[in-house]
Each structure stands twice: as C-alpha cells, then as structure tokens.
Amino acid sequence: MSAPRGQFSSNIGFLMAAAGSAVGLGNIWGFPTKAAGNGGAAFVVVYLILAFLLAYPALMAELTIGRHARRNMVQALRGIATGPISRFVGTVAGLGGILVASLILSFYAIVAGWMVAYLVEPFASLVGASHITDWLTGDSPARNLTFTAIFSGFTMLIIASGVEKGIERWSTVLMPALIILLLLLIAYVLTQDGAMKGLEVYLMPDFSQFTPELMISAMGQAFFSLSLGVGTMLIYGSYLSQQESLPRLGAMVTLIDVGIAFTAGLLILPAMYVAQEAGTQIFSASGELIAGPGLILQVLPALFDSMGTAGMFVAIAFFALMVIASLTSSISMLEVPVAFSIENLGMKRKPATLLMGLIIFALSNMIIFNVYNSDDPLTMIARVSTEYGQPLLGVVLCVFAGWIWRRDQLLTELQKGHEDIERTLFWKIWPWYVRIVCPLLILAAFAVSQGLVG
C-alpha cells in the first residue's frame, strides 16, 4: 500500500467542503447578475432545471469515479480505462483537469484578492489612513500583486494542513459563517428604500428572453458553480468514506449550491436598486445593468458609503462574505494539482502545496502584468478555462462513467452506503442519463455557443 490518504472524518465535513467548493464568487456575484441580465426569474427557472438535470448527474459521475478510485483524476481515469486508447484519453483529460483547475485558480485568486483589499479598506479609513484607502481601492498592479499573494498564501496554508485538519476543518467553520452573514445582509438591505424594485426585477420572469443564449449561459453557470470537469469534486469524492450514500450527498451539495445562489440574488439585486435610490448609476451607457467588476467594486461600495456608519459594518460583512466564499472554493482548486503531486510524483503534502501554489501564483502574475498582451487578460483566461475547459472535460468524465466503466462495477460502487440503490429511480435513470443525455447536451450547448450551429 502507498502512504495513507487523507479522508473526511464525517459526512457533514464532506458536505461543507464540497458545498464550500461549489459556493463561491460564481454564486454570490455571477448568478444574481446573470439572472438580472437574462430575464430575471426566467433565468432562475432554467438554471434550476439545468442544475438538477445536467449538473447533478455530471457531479455524480465525478463523485462516484473519485470514491471508487481513491486517487486523483489522472489515476482514477487510467484505472477505469479498458485499453491503451482510453488510458491515453484518461491521462490527457486528467492532466487537462489539473491545468484548467490551475488556470481557474490563477484568475480567481486575483478577484478574491480584490475582495480582501476591499475588506481591509474600512479598517484603513477608520484609522484615517486615506492614502492607503485610495491605494486599496485603486486598480494598480502593486495592489493586485499584494492581495493575490495574501489570498494565495491563505489558500496554501489550509491545503498544507491536509484534508481533515485543513479542508474539512476550515470549511466547517466558514460555511455556516457565510450563511449567517448572507442572511444578516439580506435582512438589512431589504429594509432600505428601493429594495423592492430589485426584488421585482429578480423574481418577475421575462420569458421573452428565453433564448438559446439564455440556456447556454445558465448551463455554463451551473457547471462553474458546481466546480465540475476539473477534478475537484472527483478528488473530494476520493476522500469520502464508503458508508455514505453518494446520490444523497450529491443531491445535498447541489441543493445547497442552488439555494445559496438563489438566496444571494435576494441580496445583490435589491442592493443594486437601493444604490440607485441613493443616487448611484446602476445602468451602463448602453442601458444594461452594470454586472462586471463595476458592480462589486463601484456600485456596492458607493451604496455602503451612502449608508454612513452602518455602511461601514455592512461593507465589512459583505466583503468578508466574498472572501469566505472565495477561500472555500480556492482550496478545492489547489487540492487538484497538490493531490496529483503527492500521488503521482511522490511528493510530501507541504512541499507539494508550496510548489503548486507558487506555480499558480506565477500564472496569476502573468495576468496581473499582462504577459498575454491582451485587452483584458483576466477575462480571456476565465473564458478559456470555463467556457472550453470545464464543459469539454465534463464530457470526458461522463463518457468514462457512462461508456468505459463497467456497469456492474459502477453499481457495486454506488451500493456502498446505499444498498438498495438498484431499486431506486436514480439507478433506473442516471446511468443512461450520464451515458447519453449529459454528453450530448453539453456538446450541443458548446456547439451553439461557438457558433458552430444555430
């Protein structure tokens, strides 16, 4: 036997970690603003359907493969492979997952660094250090470098402590804190003038916007939000005990993820309309709701400023929420290359974390100093990794679970922790679903989004 692997000590620990990975900037920032720009509740409804009909089955593929193999994505897919071709594809997809997880973390850490800077800002203004507050909220390479380094350092510290003492322990503390902060913020914002208008925009469906673009946007969001394709859920599944029912745990992770995304909409859209009421511009010159960095870095801070002393506490709570959400996601991304280095390269956890953390930090620096020479390098890396990398790797994972893996072995794995699975609706539907519907749907959506059809 090789060195003992880490394992979650309880199913709550796994749930908090996997939900922590899923719940991130994508839920609190991405989901509400996409909903606002795509027909409000029409987007919410499509998203809910896709989350359960497409993302949940794909999540189950990752969790099941991971728990069966008890290895990282490269080893897991090679283990399922039945011949040289599938072994080669498994290796390439496994390495691709590591690359894409690292690329996602490289831009995610920069955005999370902004959140840390904005969290520090109220404290700096409290002690009257106005030159520092300007630096904290100005978009300079030095500021980005500093706070990306701080955020990446925290991520590395947690991952260096291992599965139970690092990932599980921190997720179990941070996730409840995130939910409490979110609910407190909603309670406060809903009492402010203008909030009801925001709720209306969020919850009134505009089905005229029900287009292929809406479907694709909702699908991409669901994939990103459930951290699919890159092996994070696979590796978390590999740390899960065999006494737990996978379909049940996977459904709970999906429910928490969707629930928090929906709840975050009850904060962000009302907050935008409260900001408008307070005189802040919330529509761009072309008449669209400001949804990009401007929303979090200008509209909401302007709102907090207009709230006087209370605004300072609201700002601290809001940016603490964003930092927590980012951290429980970033650790899951870093665990992907770290687990590979431990299991395939024979490294110890601490040096593996340091090495992989520094490589990814170097990738972040390539974005900060725009080595790519692009107009917007962050968006470019974000698009390549989430619009191409995640869905295409998702297809490979579904194909491995649905076509390459033997059905009886799949059943044996799912029976662990769920003895009567064979008689459930899940077993009647899911294997076919992951075999045919998921890959086809993902590929179709991908083709439409690339303008290949439609």
Which residues have CB under 8 Å from 213's CB, separation 6+?
A: 38
How many whole angstroms separate alpha carbon 68 and alpha carbon 82?
A: 16
Site string for ligand PFF, 69-108 (x = CB under 6 A): --------------------------------x--x----
Closer Cβ to ligand PFF, 222 or 290, answer by number: 222
Q: At residue 120, what is the residue type?
A: V
Q: 202, 35 in Cβ contact below 8 A?
A: yes
How many whole angstroms separate alpha carbon 123 and alpha carbon 133?
A: 9
Of the candidates 15, 17, 19, 22, which one interacts with ligand PFF according to CB under 6 A? 22
We find the least distance from the C-beta atom of residue 36 to ligand PFF, in angstroms, to be 17
Of the candidates 224, 318, 430, 433, which one interacts with ligand PFF according to CB under 6 A? 224
Binding segment (CB under 6 A) for ligand PFF, from list 1-9, 155-163, 219-227, 276-284: 219-227
Which residues have CB under 8 Å from 363's CB, separation 6+?
A: 102, 103, 105, 106
Binding segment (CB under 6 A) for ligand PFF, from list 4-12, 223-231, 247-255, 354-362: 223-231
Closer Cβ to ligand PFF, 75 or 225, answer by number: 225
Q: How many residues bind ligand PFF (CB under 6 A)?
A: 16
Site string for ligand PFF, 26-55 (x = CB under 6 A): xx----------------------------
Task: Using alpha carbons, list the distances in angstroms from residue 176 to 119, 169, 183.
Answer: 19, 12, 11
Binding segment (CB under 6 A) for ligand PFF, from list 22-30, 191-199, 238-246, 368-376: 22-30
CA angle 49, 46, 32 (to 5 degrees): 115
Of the candidates 238, 332, 353, 364, which one interacts with ligand PFF according to CB under 6 A? 332
- 214 touches ligand PFF by CB under 6 A: no
We find the least distance from the C-beta atom of residue 101 to ligand PFF, in angstroms, to be 5
Closer Cβ to ligand PFF, 21 or 364, answer by number: 21
Binding segment (CB under 6 A) for ligand PFF, from list 19-27, 36-44, 113-121, 194-202: 19-27
Phi, psi of 151 (to 5 degrees): -65, -45
Q: 205-230 b/e with 16+ CB inside 10 Å = b?
A: eeeeebeeebbbbbbbbbbbbbbbbb
CA angle 89, 363, 87 (to 5 degrees): 10
Cα distance from N-terminal residue to C-terminal residue, the chain: 52
We find the least distance from the C-beta atom of residue 51 to ligand PFF, in angstroms, to be 12
Phi, psi of 140 (to 5 degrees): -110, 150
Residues that bind ligand PFF (CB under 6 A): 21-22, 24-27, 101, 104, 224-225, 227, 230, 232, 329, 332-333
